Amino acid sequence: MSLLGGWGRFPRVDCKITTARSEADVRAAITETPLIARGNGRAYGDAALNTGATLVMTGMDRMLSFDDDTGVLIAEAGVLLGDIIHTFLPRGWFPMVTPGTKYVSLGGAIAADIHGKNHHIDGSFRACVDWIDLMGPDGTTRRLTTEDEMFQWSVGGMGLTGVILRAQIRLRAVETAWIVQETRALTSVADTIAAFEDTEDVPYSVAWIDCSDGPHHGHSLLLLGRHATQDDLPPHRAPLEVRHKTKIPVPFPAPPLIFRGLFLRALNGIYWRRGARKAGESLVDWDSYFYPLDALRGWNILYGRGGFVQFQCALPNDTAAAGLKELMDTIAEAQTGSVLSVLKRFGPQSGHVSFPMPGYTLALDFPANDRTLALMDKLDRITLDHGGRFYLAKDARMPEAVAKSDERWDAFAAMRAKHGLAERFRSVQSERLGL
Ligand SMILES: Cc1cc2nc3c(=O)[nH]c(=O)nc-3n(C[C@H](O)[C@H](O)[C@H](O)COP(=O)(O)OP(=O)(O)OC[C@H]3O[C@@H](n4cnc5c(N)ncnc54)[C@H](O)[C@@H]3O)c2cc1C
């Protein structure tokens, strides 16, 4: 048994960890004991933890075939998005949808049906998945396409329908490894929402927003982006050069004061003013635009031994402005939270249990302690009052009643019971949420 956690290091539980290197390994594990599949452990909470058996899939990391004309890739579930980028971006291909870190596995991206900065245009990860090979409770592998019911439950189903062994996905053709970024500095939530709506045809958009109680409360930096063409580059720049960047290690946790009132206000203010000075258009490499946090190695120790929790909710379009205001006022009042609160626009909903709904999503980190956990209960209530929902890939503490207020999870639990999935595939999260 080893002590294991998610990216937030809260909770950490004793797990029996096995690494699968082949389909036969997965079958042997499934038939032996109930388990949960784990990718690269980037879900924040307890979605990829099972105290009985946690089956690590990053040992199945082979790319099986690639078509240079169409960008169609078949790969095992343990392949990381970062490896896909380093292999295929030099050949002019980039993932269709990517989260804020490249260190996620293909299986984890599918199981959480991750979203990127382009959800309003391209949808979630499912948009690029043609099929998955899923091993079910009896050790049989089925190839599921978008036509299959079980595909719709599995993409976004958090590993609770079986173990994804491999998948076929489509990459996006790009001319360069660069992004034309436009930064807009805004001073209120209403202006930020208006700017998102104004720029609906821009492929990528994300805003950093100040949730502290300082003078910059509600100020935001909206980062818009599109893939640069060769014409956008200065003549000396290699269009498809893809470098491995040196990472800055985070040697020790930040002092807890950083996450409290005065410091939080100051840090947010500095960040906004610095961003505002750089407002306008610039050329940014793919890594800096999509994965700024990946530049810091092991930043998840910043919050100290107790770890941290992320709150991420989605609010529908018609209540988003009021809901965001109430959430942000409540966070500001508590004088705790992260320097980076992230706001994104969502497009249409798809799949049976995927997180996105048309509207906005707000995400921010809190140090894990009694005070912030109590605050998050309040944020749950505000989200529900505004017709919102929560992202299981970030959750570590939600009560069952809150998760089940999204009635899709009741239907999911019933489907799991009917197909004998609940006996074989379980996570600490699924038990907590009664899935
Ligand atoms: C810095 C950072 C930024 C992030 N930004 C975003 C973002 O912008 N958008 C977003 O959507 N998410 C984001 N995430 C969350 C992350 O994308 C998801 O949690 C993703 O699922 C992690 O993939 P993983 O391989 O690490 O999977 P894990 O964390 O190991 O597992 C996540 C879930 O996938 C299941 N799973 C993993 N592999 C398999 C498999 N082979 N078969 C079946 N089930 C499997 C697990 O059971 C678990 O339920 C971010 C995370 C971090 C740390």
**Ligand 1 within 6 A of CB of 75:** no
Q: How far is the CA of 251 from the centre of ligand 1 (A)?
A: 25
Render pLDDT for 87-100 as a digit per residue (tens, 0 to 9).
999 999 999 999 99
- Which residues span the domain enclosing 150? 63-175
**Ligand 1 within 6 A of CB of 108:** yes
- pLDDT for position 248: 83
- pLDDT for position 269: 81
186 and 85 assigned to the same domain: no
For ligand 1, what atom is nearest to the CA of residue 162? 43
169 and 192 assigned to the same domain: no
pLDDT at 191 over 80: yes
How many domains is the chain partitioned into structurally?
A: 2
Nearest CA to ligand 1 atom 7: 99
150 and 227 assigned to the same domain: no
| pTM to 2 decimal places | 0.97
144 and 276 assigned to the same domain: no
Top mutation candidate among 19, 40, 101 for ligand 1, by most atoms within 8 Å of CB: 101
Distance CA(167)–CA(62), nearest Å, equals 11
Q: Is residue 257 very low, low, confident or very high in pLDDT (cuts 50, 70, 90)?
A: low
140 and 185 assigned to the same domain: no
pLDDT at 339 over 80: no
pLDDT at 71 over 90: yes
Look up the CATH number of the domain holding residue 324.
3.30.70.2520
Listed in sequence order, the residues at least 6 apart from 109 whose beta carbon sits closer than 8 Å to its beta carbon are 39, 81, 97, 99, 125
Distance CA(209)–CA(265), nearest Å, equals 12
- pLDDT for position 354: 98
**Ligand 1 within 6 A of CB of 153:** no
For ligand 1, what atom is nearest to the CA of residue 7? 53
Residue 421 lies in a domain: no
Domain limit, last residue, from 129, 158, 175: 175
Q: How far is the CA of 74 from the centre of ligand 1 (A)?
A: 19
Look up the CATH number of the domain holding residue 72.
3.30.465.10
Render pLDDT for 97-131 as a digit per residue (tens, 0 to 9).
999 999 999 999 999 999 999 999 999 999 999 99
- pLDDT for position 263: 73
110 and 241 assigned to the same domain: no
Render pLDDT for 263-290 as a digit per residue (tens, 0 to 9).
778 787 888 888 899 899 999 999 999 9
The per-residue pLDDT of the chain, averaged, comes to: 95
Q: How far is the CA of 98 from the centre of ligand 1 (A)?
A: 11
Share of the chain above pLDDT 70, in %: 99
pLDDT average, residue stretch 362-369: 94
Listed in sequence order, the residues at least 6 apart from 184 whose beta carbon sits closer than 8 Å to its beta carbon are 195, 221, 222, 224, 279
286 and 368 assigned to the same domain: yes
**Ligand 1 within 6 A of CB of 107:** yes
pLDDT at 337 over 80: no
Domain limit, last residue, from 154, 175, 196: 175
272 and 313 assigned to the same domain: yes
143 and 190 assigned to the same domain: no
- pLDDT for position 255: 72
**Ligand 1 within 6 A of CB of 433:** no
For residue 241, give both structure tokens.
């050069």
Residue 70 lies in a domain: yes
Residue 347 lies in a domain: yes
- pLDDT for position 215: 85
249 and 216 assigned to the same domain: yes
pLDDT at 313 over 70: yes
**Ligand 1 within 6 A of CB of 15:** no
- pLDDT for position 336: 82
Strand pairing partners for 143? 133
Q: How far is the CA of 274 from the centre of ligand 1 (A)?
A: 31
Residue 12 lies in a domain: no
Query: Is the CB of residue 264 less than 8 Å from the CB of residue 258?
Result: yes
Residue 346 lies in a domain: yes
Distance CA(17)–CA(20), nearest Å, equals 10
Task: Label residues 317-354 b or e (16+ Cβ within 10 Å = b).
Answer: eebbbebbebbbeebbebbbbbbbbbbbbbbebbbbbb
Distance CA(349)–CA(183), nearest Å, equals 28
197 and 298 assigned to the same domain: yes
Domain limit, last residue, from 123, 144, 175: 175
Listed in sequence order, the residues at least 6 apart from 2 whose beta carbon sits closer than 8 Å to its beta carbon are 14, 15, 17
For ligand 1, what atom is nearest to the CA of residue 299? 1
pLDDT at 214 over 90: no
**Ligand 1 within 6 A of CB of 206:** no
**Ligand 1 within 6 A of CB of 39:** yes
Residue 37 lies in a domain: no
Residue 257 lies in a domain: yes
138 and 256 assigned to the same domain: no
**Ligand 1 within 6 A of CB of 43:** yes
Residue 47 lies in a domain: no
CA distances from 368 to 21, 141, 315, 374 (A): 34, 39, 24, 10
Nearest CA to ligand 1 atom 6: 99
Distance CA(169)–CA(133), nearest Å, equals 12
Q: How far is the CA of 185 from the centre of ligand 1 (A)?
A: 30
